Amino acid sequence: MALCLLVLTCRSMLLPRTFFDRNVVDVARELIGASLLIDGVGGMIVETEAYARDDPASHSVRGPTQRNAAMFGPFGHAYVYRSYGIHWCLNFVCQSGSAVLIRAIEPMQQVDTMIDRRGLSDRRLLCAGPGRLCQALGVDGALNHAPLDRSPFVIAPASLANAVHEGRRIGISQGVDTPWRFCAIPSRYLSKPLR
DNA sequence: GAGGCGATTGGCT
DNA sequence: GCCAATCGCCTCG
């Protein structure tokens, strides 16, 4: 009985899949301070970016393709793609054609596993950037289309209201002025410092 | 079928 | 700050 209560309590603390059935910008902002674990490895989300359906910077701008199919699938699932032929990037799918790119987390759980996977011990660089984060959390293409409210994902909402910085997105050539990058302030674990 | 390029990273200057 | 690495995706012919 005690175990059942514990399980129910833990489940009620998770983000429901419907959390993602909303405006992608709101979701990206509200994910700051949330905790993300993958197979128990992870920490607090400190940096996200929003990519909307008709956003010139978004993979979805030209409609569905083989790569971006997950963005046009059900909300509350992962969209994982390969970047520069080398790295993986993790997104949370929101309303059709939109997704939140997870750019950085503050390492908190099973940091030793992250250090092993990354091959370096500088805590500050373990998950500071979408490619680094995926390497540290063991994310690859196998998680594309995976539901976010099931194992191996555990995503819990921010427990407190956080101070959030809004700025320009990083590494894009279109839509550069749209301020859809969200960062926790203060945080030492961002992919790039705030201006 | 070929060519160009990217929501990045790490190493070197 | 500059640049190579590296390859799948997308566009065009």
Residue A8's pLDDT is what? 42
Which of A1-5, A23-27, A69-73, A157-161 has the lowest average pLDDT?
A: A1-5
- Which protein residue has its CA closest to C1' of B6? A84
The mean pLDDT of A156-173, rounded to a whole number, is: 93
The mean pLDDT of A138-155, rounded to a whole number, is: 97
Residue A194's pLDDT is what? 87
- pTM (2 decimals)? 0.93
What is the full DSSP assignment across A37-99? EETTEEEEEEEEEEE-TT-TTSGGGG---TTTGGGGS-SSBEEEEEETTTEEEEEEE-STT-E
- Higher-scoring residue by pLDDT: A28, A5: A28
Residue A3's pLDDT is what? 42
Banded model confidence at residue A12, pLDDT cuts 50, 70, 90 = low
Residues near chain B strand, CB within 7 A: A 49, 51, 57-60, 68, 71, 79, 82-87, 89, 91, 99, 101, 118, 125, 129-133, 169-173, 191
Contacts of A107 (CB under 8 A, 6+ apart): A42, A43, A114, A123, A126, A127, A136, A189
Backbone angles phi, psi at A183, to 5 degrees: -135, 145
CA of A192 to C1' of C2 (A): 18
pLDDT of A56 over the 50 cut? yes
Residue A160's pLDDT is what? 83
> How does A32-68 read in b/e, with b if 16+ C-beta sit within 10 Å?
bbbbbbbeebbbbbbbbbbbbbebebbbbbeeeeeeb
The answer to whether A69 CB sits below 7 Å from nucleic acid chain C is no
- Which protein residue has its CA closest to C1' of C10? A65
- Higher-scoring residue by pLDDT: A13, A92: A92
CA of A153 to C1' of C10 (A): 31
* CA-CA-CA-CA torsion sign (A171, A113, A43, A12): positive
The answer to whether A195 CB sits below 7 Å from nucleic acid chain C is no
Residue A50's pLDDT is what? 98
Which nucleotide is closest, CA of A91 to its C1'? Answer: B7
- Which protein residue has its CA closest to C1' of C11? A62
Residue A4's pLDDT is what? 41
A102-112 per-position pLDDT tens digit: 999 999 999 99
Q: Encoding tokens for residue A141?
A: 């293409």
